[in-house]
Structure 1
Amino acid sequence: MITLHTWTTPNGRKPVILLEELGEPYEIVPVDLRRNQQFEPGFLKLSPNNKIPAMVDDGAEGGTVTLFESGAILTYLADKFGKCLAPSGPARWQAMQWLHWQIGGLGPMLGQLGFFAQQDDAFALDRFVKEADRLLTVLDTQLGSSQYVAGDDYTIADIACYTWVQAATERLQAPLGDILASKADLQRWIALVGARPAVQKGMAWQV
């Protein structure tokens, strides 16, 4: 059985969506960030960086596998069940580079923008609005030449990017509304990915 220790954040929803895509059984253990449960000793044994999500697979070949970091969890699950990531070749590395682009850029920058959008710091807000615009332009340009983020196949790169873009669409309209609305290929992709039943179920998960 796959057990996810997670919460209702963009990173926390990524493995939920993938498991719904895979159609595999799983259990969710909520880690309530509002109550600082990510700092509790039991969770720190799973995720020493005190961040969600974390995963335990007690049905793994060779013994139980415990992982933290959403990108590692997505890659593990996609490889184990043979879906949403090519097993080898150029298609695999296209997906992996965009997955890591999201982890290293899109997610952290949109997260910082979300923070500074609530602060009285015009300099910081301007900086992160400009960086968010740059990153969303990169994504929009990529989607102008392919159906999905890493090519013509839906992959874990789409799942990783979608949760953050959707969160920005819903929560950051004040600083990003015009920026998001002007990107036609990004809007096409948001609708395409958002129409998937597994994505809808993963995004709707609540405690």
Structure 2
Amino acid sequence: MISVDETKISHSRLDDVQGLGLGVFLCALGMHVLTHVGLITGQTAGIAVIISYLSGWSFGAVFFVVNLPFYALAYRRLGLEFTLKSLISVTLLSVFTDILPLGFAIQTINPALGAVIFGATVGFGLLAMFRHNGSLGGLGVVALLIQDRYGFKAGYVQLISDAVIFLVSAFLFPLSIVGWSLLGAVVLNLIIAFNHRRDRYIAT
């Protein structure tokens, strides 16, 4: 039987580029579906989506700005590499979500299906990024810090933060929108909770 220590994996720069690139693309694809259907989500992206809906501003621009305060925390707690990767990933996601509609127009999609597609694509996108020491910043950084320090799973931390955001959203949007959006958030966070295990996958 191979022990956990014997399965330690070392990532090259090329590994990180393809892993983070794929993760960002999957997240951007999921966000494109989410905003097309008119749903919301939790975490920092959810805050940015709500602001963009209410203000008419671009999601990409709002998402980039909302993440700025979290970089100092990421640097102090998770190091320069993680912070730089997160900054690059957030910037790329902001750009991708603005240009995807130019080449990928969605004609018809059921809100329930849209919620599941969003949860699955963003969930696996975030997993790819976590495994290459990156994230989309914001509350995801806080969730990772809590998991690493206290062992409380990042997915569950995000579920709690989502609950607060959805509670506020219930006063701003129709309950049908909030309900389908909650489905997407549950799919996303359960994927992370069941699959993001540092004792099963250790990267250097």
Question: Which of the five TM-score ranges fits, normalised by the shorter chain?
Answer: 0.3 to 0.5
TM (norm. structure 1) is 0.33
More strand by share: 1
Structure possessing the higher relative contact order (Cα contacts under 8 Å, 6 or more residues apart): 2
More helix by share: 2
TM (norm. structure 2) is 0.34
